[in-house]
Amino acid sequence: MNRRQALVSVGLGAAAMVGGALAWRTWRSRFEAADDVVAVTDGAVDYFFSLNFDDSDGTRHALSAWRGKKLVVNFWATWCVPCVEEMPRLQALADQLAASNVAVVGISVDEPDNVRQFRHQHSIRYELLVAGFDGMALSQRLGNPQPVLPYTALIGADGRILGQFSGKIDEAELRRRLA
């Protein structure tokens, strides 16, 4: 086999792996969204509510401020294309459900400057907190299986996990679970 054939073989193999990973991620996301209640680490929600994170302007926020509300917790990054694509839908959801004891909180695994710039460019008004890479560990504790971004966990007013979405959210399913 000459060098060109070897490179083509490697390229085709890599493309097949990426395609398989994307198909698996899509299937897994739909499977997880179909469960009634997703099992997570014991005490994960209590741990979540014990944390504090800064927003992109450096203001400290206690996650316990959202205890007792239905909460849509979205883990994301400015460099994550599917994350950026779903942000307008999350903003619309936050606007529509604010009066219904539902809050949307974004937890970024990015840098504060990137989050601040993104917030202003895209007019995101719901709370965007900056966790840095620690956000990935937190997302895993709340059930993120891979971990992947975006990842969204729904926490009920009673502190139970109502559902989770690996990859982009299914808005109809998310609304059904929040009802």
CB under 8 Å, gap of 24 or more: what pairs does 108-112 form? 108/56, 108/75, 108/76, 108/77, 108/78, 108/135, 109/75, 109/76, 109/77, 109/133, 109/135, 109/136, 109/149, 110/76, 110/77, 110/78, 110/79, 112/54, 112/56, 112/57, 112/58
For residues 156 and 161, what is the distance between their CA atoms, to the nearest angstrom? 6
For residue 101, pLDDT beyond 70: yes
For residue 28, pLDDT beyond 50: no
**Per-residue pLDDT, 149:** 96
CATH 3.30.930.10 fits 3-178, yes or no: no
For residue 7, pLDDT beyond 80: no
**Per-residue pLDDT, 147:** 83
Amino acid in the structure at residue 63: L
**Per-residue pLDDT, 29:** 41
For residue 67, pLDDT beyond 90: yes
DSSP of 72-90, one letter per residue?
Answer: EEEEE-TT-HHHHHHHHHH
Up-side HSE of residue 113: CA atoms within 13 Å toward CB?
A: 0
